[in-house]
């Protein structure tokens, strides 16, 4: 007697069927193509990022080397003759010398105008035009002299006596303000005009001459 279950056909599991050789070869080719595409994409991205990094470094170096640095000013001399005389204000005059240095390696500076003003306790005692327009080469230093006298001086008797009292205490403090209109030059490119100020704080002794501790002192510079 035969069992009915034994006569039924056995169905095989599709997952256990062997993969045909044709399907296996196509799968391998697809995997190889996908792997090559991924590698090529990664190579292109790596080359692009490397070029971008190199360009960034080049532009950074150019920016560092060509970025304009503000000129540097130093006070070299300052005198107020006749400070010891009670009536010295009648013929008073101020002489001063400053240097303007261009610290840039590849950037020139155009000085379109320059004016100097002397202040005593934040009250102006004189003002004058310092120099005609000029061009300053990179790594160059220019000596600038100023002279205040006559109509450019505004010292009255009371202010002169106040200076005398400071002198008797050891020193008289002044502030020299240099205002310039400048432009930067990088090869053939010219910047727009900038208004620049340099403030030089000065101390003179009993004889009206610049004290050694403020000679060659660097003057702070700012733009507006």
The angle subtended at Cα 55 by Cα 53 and Cα 59, nearest 5°, is 120
Q: 51: buried, middle or exposed (CB in 10 Å: 19+, 13-18, 0-12)?
A: exposed
What tokens does 25 get? 């070869």
Instruction: Let me know: does 111 contact 136? Beta carbons within 8 Å.
Output: yes
Q: Coil, strand or helix: which one is 102?
A: coil
Among 216, 175, 218, 173, residue whose Cα is nearest residue 76 = 216
pTM over 0.95: no
Domain parsing of the chain, residue ranges:
19-66, 72-223
Tell whether the model's pLDDT for residue 45 goes beyond 60.
Answer: yes
Mean pLDDT of all residues in the chain?
85
Instruction: Let me know: does 133 contact 111? Beta carbons within 8 Å.
Output: yes
The string of pLDDT tens digits covering residues 49-73 is: 888 887 777 665 555 555 789 999 9
8: confidence class by pLDDT, cuts 50, 70, 90: low
Q: CATH second-level architecture of 72-223?
A: Sandwich (2.60)
Q: Report the C-alpha gap between 73 and 178 in whole angstroms.
A: 9
């Amino acid at each position: 007697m035969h069992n009915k279950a034994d006569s039924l056909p056995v169905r095989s599991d599709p997952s256990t069927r062997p993969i045909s050789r044709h399907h296996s070869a196509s799968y391998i080719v697809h995997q190889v193509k996908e792997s090559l595409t991924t590698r090529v994409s990664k190579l292109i991205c790596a080359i692009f990022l490397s070029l971008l990094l190199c360009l960034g470094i080049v532009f950074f170096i150019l920016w560092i080397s060509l970025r304009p640095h503000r000129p540097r000013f130093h006070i070299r001399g300052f005198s107020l003759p006749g400070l010891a005389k009670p009536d010295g204000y009648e013929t008073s005059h101020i002489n001063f010398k400053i240097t303007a240095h261009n610290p840039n390696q590849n950037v020139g500076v155009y000085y379109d105008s320059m004016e100097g003003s002397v202040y005593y306790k934040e009250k102006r005692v004189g003002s004058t035009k310092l120099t005609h327009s000029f061009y300053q080469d990179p790594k160059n230093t220019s000596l600038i002299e100023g002279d205040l006298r006559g109509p450019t001086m505004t010292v009255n008797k009371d202010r002169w006596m106040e200076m005398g009292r400071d002198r008797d205490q050891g020193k008289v403090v002044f502030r020299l303000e240099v205002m310039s209109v400048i432009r930067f030059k990088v090869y053939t490119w010219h910047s727009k005009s900038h208004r620049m100020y340099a403030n030089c704080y000065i101390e003179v002794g009993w004889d009206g001459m610049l004290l050694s501790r403020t000679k060659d002192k660097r003057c702070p510079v700012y733009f507006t």
